[in-house]
Structure 1
Amino acid sequence: MAERLTPRSVRARTTLAACLSVAVVLAASAAAVVLLLRANLERTVETGAREQAQAVARLAADGRLSSPLPLDHGTDFIQVVDANGRVLAASQNLAGRPAVAPTGHRDGHRTYNVRVLGDEHHQRVATMTAATPTGPVTVHVGASLRTADAAEDVTTAALAVLSTVLLLTVGLLTWRATGRALRPVEAIRAEVAAIGDRELNRRVPEPRSDDEIARLAGTMNAMLERLEAAGARQRRFIADASHELRSPLTVLRTQLEVALGLPDPEVRAEMVAGALEDTERLQRLAADLLLLARLDVAGQDRPQEAVDLAELVRTTVEARGALPCPVTVHAPAGLTVPGNPLWLGRLLTNLLDNAQRHARRGVTVRLGTDRASGQAVLDVANDGPPIGPDDREKIFERFARLDDARSRDDGGAGLGLPIARDIAAVHGGTLTVLDTPGATTFRTRLPAARPN
């Protein structure tokens, strides 16, 4: 039931919260005002009754009591009683009446039965004892609280009306202000809801104000830009992958069809061998595409296994041998990085494949530490043709091959360097190409392992 009665919209909840908060403050303030007013009026009435009792007590002490006793303004009755309970003097309205007696306590004051006056209302009775020539007497002076009651009622009614008007005003202003503040949010929501997977070029409206909603709209547009760019890269990647797969599949089918129609076993075996080579190329391409997908999914989950980078470099280089050109290694021991050894080995293998493909005489692998940042630095340099400044980022695009490496036999599928850069990124590092003297250097920076 509580969940059903709770407003569901932010506008309604904000208005309800504001009204409840203001209602609590108004109720507390009104109660404090009424209580202070009541206390002040009662104090004034009690003071007047006490002064009247003191005056009558002085008359009794001097033996000058008269009957009936005159009443001051705001005084209901006066009665003077001796020690035996006999009425010695009284005001006109209590003439011939018995002595008033206390019947209990209320609000810290004694209460008296004064129904003999014919009117029931709140009173304050001031009692005072005086010594007279005939003995001690007690003076009772009753003061009416009609004025205090009337003022309290009027004040309560006025505060109730004013509080209601103020509460309605606060609710109306909060409702309108919240609606105006949330109008841009609703526009953003409607625009985002209307954006489909093929309409990522659309943007949400950005308010002119420099507030949280404007920053939210800016963040949403930035996210849509990233989604649009990611979608464009994905479509381009799918198109490139389809193109790369189409050519070897076409060649493979042609080879198999020709092999089926050839009667010569030797020629047929040669055609089947070529088909096997194309099949291996397709297998490597599929493995690269799968690795790229795994790297994309890895995201921010960095591998944390301790990897001896120097040992990894030496093992990888020794397993490759000296063909097609020798590799010189400068790798001091003791450099460890957190990561995945298989992926880091693939990074180095791809860089060595690229370097040996373009090198003239040799490849150099150098491992070190950047003293400024504390990162591990892996350089793979070859003495082949330099890479132009405009192509240094293009070579890291998937399926990208420069003009001098277009050959499928020499240039590969164009996934080696993109895979290497993605592996470096997954490990929290970077991969860049530098134009060093006499060589082209691919530099990988990786965070070094923290010392225990």
Structure 2
Amino acid sequence: MSRLFGSVRSRATLGATLVVAVALVAAGTALLLSLRANLTGEAGTRAERSAQAVASELAARTPLGKLSGLDAEDTPVQIVDEEGVLLAASEDLERISGTGTSEVTPAPTRSAEDGRDDRDGPDGRDDDRDDRDDDESLEPGEIAQGASYTNGTATVDGDTEDYRFAAVEVETPDRGRLTVHAGAPLAAEHSAVGTALTAMLIGFPLLLGVVAGVTWLVTGRALRPVEGIRREMAAITASEDLRRRVPEPATHDEIARLARTTNATLAALETSVERQRRFVADASHELRSPIASLRTQLEVAAAHPELLDLDGAVEDTVRLQNLAADLLLLARLDVGERPAGTRVDLAALAREEAAGRRRVTVEAEPVEVSGSRGQLGRVLANVLDNAERHARERITVSVRREGGEAVVGVADDGEGVAEADRERIFERFVRLDAARSRDDGGAGLGLAIARDVAVRHGGTLTAGAAPAGGALFELRLPLAGSDRGTARP
């Protein structure tokens, strides 16, 4: 059972069915209450009309024995005085409740001819009623406005039914104030409510079954692409083949966006893994050369000490040390190391890195950025190293403000970089064959490191054409204190 309702499809079906069930019960209850109230109100209206008709006859001095309302079928009527004494009742009325008096036989003190009470005064009015509250007094022959309603039962000619009773007061000229109780049967109300309840008890379960079935089918159809994505991801995990992609539905809903995002993640993961593999392979290849050279020199020196090339051994050791430092820095950048948030004057940093280098001139204005002084110095050093390998006579370093950015330009008068290679030179271990060989120094990591550092500082590093015809490397960084002056993750 827990496994069944552990699926999204089952929970969605159950949730939709429960919501519809609650809504149906609430709507059905409201419908039944409204139907009952309407039918009860109609019965009350009929009962009030009957009571008003009898009261009109009483106001017109009609004798009790000649009241037409007492002969109506399915309309039990009682007439009582102010003391609650029954003066008249419908024919065949055997039992009654809900009207305030359960008597069905008129009191014997009433005259059989006209129903006058022996206690009435000379004018036929009860002398004890003179002290009534003036606010409740009625003129002789006047019928009170409105009626009061009660529910009860009555047995007429052996049939017992529920009734809605209306009580209407009338001030008679000869008998004082009387109250007429008249009832209307509630059989129609009971029948209608019962029929509606039966229909609901039969229809609601069927409707809930339809809702559950439709929800099950719709959710199954909606979640089918999700299952396809899950199976494909499981296959990718088992095969470790990151070239595979999950199926993308032809819809424009959340599942389609999930599939596209998943494929984008797989593509990024494939690129990252491939880049890591290529990095490891290139690093192994680059490390093999200085290590093999150093080993060869040491083996020769061990066998023939007089042939030891000490300068070459030191050069290979330095080269190996620099390569290891570059690899370590790249590893730190790849794991997302954030640069320090100190202020760095790029003009001073440019002059510091240019000091001791031949053919380098600096044209700089004070510009501050936020970041790591050591890493930014590494950027300038790597770009200057690259420029020195290609310049013929002159290298120019410029530092300026441009909008909300600090711009550092390093231009040389060499052969420049072909437009097709201006992005490729920033890839790791890339050397342009026409530019230089491994023996010229460097492992093809300097510009890759420089761009990674620039990106980590929220900036860019691009290659272009210098005015003198050589290469122009341009570093752009957000000024210190600007909104972009934070390191990217």
Q: Report if TM-score (shorter chain) is over 0.5.
A: yes
Does residue 210 (structure 1) correspond to residue 252 (structure 2)? The answer is yes
Counterparts of residues 259-298 of structure 1 (less than 5 Å) = 259-262=301-304, 264=305, 266-267=306-307, 270-298=308-336
Counterpart residue number, 2:132 = none
Partner of 2:211: 170
Please tell me whether residue 347 in structure 1 is matched to residue 346 in structure 2: no
Structure 2 residue 408 is the aligned partner of structure 1 residue 367: no
Structure 1 residue 402 corresponds to structure 2 residue 444: no
**Alignment partner of 1:424 out of 429, 441, 454:** 454
> Could you tell me how far 1:310 is from its partner in structure 2?
0.8
Which of residues 223, 227, 237 in structure 2 aligns to 1:186?
A: 227
How far off its partner does 1:96 sit?
A: 10
Deviation at residue 401 of structure 1 after TM alignment: 1.5
Aligned AA (1:185):
V
In the TM superposition, what are the counterparts of 1:65-214 in structure 2 within 5 Å? 65-66=64-65, 70-75=70-75, 77-83=76-82, 85-94=84-93, 101=100, 109-110=149-150, 121-130=161-170, 131=172, 133-196=174-237, 198-214=240-256
Q: Distance in 2 between matches of 1:337 and 1:230?
A: 30
Aligned pair partner of 2:369 in 317, 333, 337: 337
Deviations 1:361-394 (A, max 9, x none): 23211111224xx321111112222222232222
- Return the offset for 1:117: 8.2
SS in 1 for 2:92: helix
Q: 2:474 aligns with which of 438, 443, 446?
A: 443
Partner Cα distance (1:153, 1:113) in 2: 19
Aligned mate of 1:413, from 419, 439, 443: 443
Q: Which has the larger radius of gyration?
A: 2
| Matched position secondary structure for 1:191 | helix
Displacement of 1:166 in angstroms is 2.3
Q: Does 1:10 align with 2:8?
A: yes
**Cα deviation 1:16-40 (Å, max 9, x = unaligned):** 3322332333233222222221122
Residues 41 and 275 (structure 1), Cα distance of their counterparts in 2 relative to 1, 3 Å cut: same
Please give the alpha-carbon distance, in whole angstroms, between the structure 2 residues aligned to 1:183 and 1:71.
74
Deviation at 1:294, TM superposition (A): 1.0
Does structure 2 retain, via aligned residues, the 8 Å contact 1:205–1:217? yes
In 1, distance between residues paired with 2:96 and 2:39? 29
Q: Name which of 338, 353, 359 aligns with 1:316.
A: 353
Query: Would the aligned equivalents of 2:97 and 2:152 in 1 still touch at CA under 8 Å?
Result: no
Checking the alignment, whether the CA contact within 8 Å between 1:63 and 1:133 is kept in structure 2 is no
In the alignment, structure 2 segments of 5+ residues that lack a partner are: 103-147, 484-489
Asked whether the 8 Å contact 1:67–1:91 carries over to 2, the reply is: no
For 1:203 and 1:167, how far apart are their aligned partners in 2?
A: 40
1:372-422 deviations in Å (ceiling 9; x for gaps): xx3211111122222222322222121112224544341311111111111
Partner Cα separation in structure 2 for residue 92 and residue 152 of structure 1: 30
Contact kept, 8 Å, 1:101 with 1:112, in 2: the verdict is no
Say if 1:49 and 1:126, in contact at 8 Å, map to a contact too: yes
Give the residue type in structure 1 aligned to 2:201: A
* Residues in 2 aligned to 1:369 and 1:437: alpha-carbon distance in whole angstroms: 19
1:28 aligns with 26
- Partners of 2:295 and 2:302 in 1: CA distance: 11
Deviation at 1:132, TM superposition (A): 5.3
Paired residue secondary structure (1:195): helix
Asked whether the equivalents of residues 78 and 89 of structure 2 are also in contact (C-alpha less than 8 Å), the reply is: yes
Aligned with 2:53 (options 44, 52, 55): 55
What does residue 306 of structure 1 align with? 343
Contact 1:67 1:90 in 2 (8 A): no
| Contact 1:87–1:98 (Cα < 8 Å) also in 2 | no
Change (3 A) 1:54 1:198: closer
Q: Is the 8 A contact 2:94 2:155 kept in 1?
A: no
Q: How far has the Cα of 1:169 moved from its partner?
A: 1.7
Structure 1 Cα separation of the partners of residues 97 and 422 of structure 2: 117
1:435, distance to aligned residue in structure 2 (A): 1.7
Are 1:82 and 1:138, in contact at CA under 8 Å, matched by a contact in 2? yes
Tell me, in whole angstroms, the C-alpha distance in 1 between the residues paired with 2:71 and 2:343: 103
| TM-fit CA distance, 1:191 | 0.6
- Deviation string 1:345-367 (CA, Å, 9 cap, x unpaired) is 00001111111122222321111
Question: 2: CA distance between counterparts of 1:81 and 1:101?
Answer: 10
TM-score computed with the length of structure 1 as normaliser: 0.86
Paired residues of 1:259 and 1:272 also in contact (CA < 8 A): no
CA contact (8 A) 1:110 1:125 kept: yes
For each residue in 1:157-205, what CA deviation from the matched residue of structure 2 results, as whole angstroms up to 9, or x when unmatched? 2133333322222222122111101111110111112113741111111
Counterpart secondary structure, 2:65:
coil
Tell me which protein shows more helix as a share of its residues: 1
Q: Which stretches in structure 1 are left out of the alignment for 5+ residues?
A: none
Q: Which moved more, 1:93-102 or 1:118-127?
A: 93-102
AA of the residue aligned to 1:138: T
| Residue pair 1:70, 1:91 contacting (<8 A) in 2 also | yes
Q: 1:99 to 1:341 in 2, by over 3 A?
A: closer
Q: Aligned to 2:421, which of 365, 372, 391?
A: 391
